[in-house]
Structure 1
Amino acid sequence: MDPVKKIAQLVRAGATLTAYTCPACGTVLVRLKTGELYCANCERTVVLVKTEEEAQQALEIVQLREVRRIVFDKILQLGREIEKLSASEMVDHLRSMSLLIDIYERLSRLHGEGQRQQPKSPS
């Protein structure tokens, strides 16, 4: 879909246009209701930073989010497989799920702490 049409859809859904452009492609960024800046052309969130330290913090947040998503997908995958298993196999799957859930919760806490520390984009 054309980026201009995507931007129009996002604005109709409550996003606002900003004076910022995407550093990768130059498309005007929109501010989503969540406060995140978004490039409709690249289809990704953009974080504006002032220092190398802020850039590193933002990168860590993005990487943690991706790991958390992968762990969540594995939990769902194990959940779908449970009904086909014998009792002993189920116990192993449930142990794995329990470990993954613990990891997911820890990543969620880290992600939440990172969001609070993330550099705020200029208003």
Structure 2
Amino acid sequence: MADLLRDGATMLSQSCPFCNVPLFRLKSGDIICPSCKRRAVILRGSEEVSSEVVVAIGARLREVLSRKLAEIVGRIEEVKDEDRLLKLLELARRIYEFLKEV
């Protein structure tokens, strides 16, 4: 946490719902938990949504996409058609890239 503060991050009043460690806003604007390395999104507006709900949704999305990626990899192993293979590879790449950001 000290490294984050030295690098210019701001400690927020909200804490991570998974590990109860304070969330930090990086200079880039991203909000992260320094303990479990999850990213969080805090929504503001007429319908206030808690960071706990948003982080939980992000975790669920990560689970679902990880399972889908595993399914796609299984289909890649079995596919014979080159066009279908290219489509599956592109889909797998997109999901993989998205998972790295979540």
TM bucket, shorter chain: 0.3 to 0.5
Query: Normalized against structure 1, the TM-score is what?
Result: 0.40
TM-score, normalised to structure 2's length? 0.46
Higher relative contact order (CA 8 A, sep 6+): 1
Give 1 or 2 for the bigger CA radius of gyration: 1
